[in-house]
Amino acid sequence: ILSGCGVYDGTEIHEASAILVHLSRGGAEVQMYAPDVPQMHVIDHIKGQPADAESRNVLVESARIARGKIASLAKLSTADHDAVIFPGGFGAAKNLSTFAVDGKDCKVNKEVERVLKDFHKAGKPIGLCCISPVLAAKVLSGAEVTVGHEEEEGGKWPYAGTAGAIKELGGKHCVKEVTISFPAHVDTKNKVVSTPAFMCETALHHIFDGIGAMVNSVLKLTGK
């Protein structure tokens, strides 16, 4: 499930690409989706500031990553899929939910909420990385997730405060490292798998490998 194209206002592209590579290596067939809604705003990724008087559509922007092969999230049927995975990027907190603005009082896009609840009810695994675990924490009460560490540790974990927000949302936060040496967190009861990814300031290959651990755990939980 994509949330646009670009870390500050959509999907984190490296995370999406890593997920797709690991899914391909695992032999999975993939269909990409995104909600057909306007972005919260558009960020100039050089300046790191909102672009005035500009608007973009989440589905249209997500199609850049999907190479055009994408469908509206409203068309996703849980019965057609064995698992669902959400990359991170601020789009998860801005376009898939209002977490970036409202924190613990956030609302989740109705189609995102439907998908999460339907996959959970069907006992099908849900994969999450970076900031996207906040979606499960909000929608699936008591779900165990990780966004990494709970302290900034000199800037290594710049978004460590998210762990506290997850607890306020009703989720359970588990401290985890980002690398493959420390496998992704698996909530076996709820079949929710998460990994910190870019919540950590570290080398790209560590993030890539950590995402691989998440994807492999999701595929294993499908039983296929």
DSSP codes joined into one string, 96-138: SBSHHHHGGG--B-HHHHHHHHHHHHTT--EEEETTTHHHHHH
Position 173: which residue type? Answer: H
Hey, what amino acid is at 113? E
Instruction: Considering the candidates 106, 129, 130, 200, report the single residue annotated as catalytic.
Output: 130
In 46-200 the beta strands, taken as DSSP E runs, fall at 49-50, 70-72, 84-86, 126-129, 144-148, 172-175, 185-187, 192-195
Tokens found for residue 194: 């998460």
Say if residues 148 and 200 touch (Cβ distance below 8 Å). Answer: yes
> Is 130 part of the annotated catalytic residue set?
yes
Distance of CA 29 to the CA centre of its chain: 19
Q: Return the active site residues.
A: 130
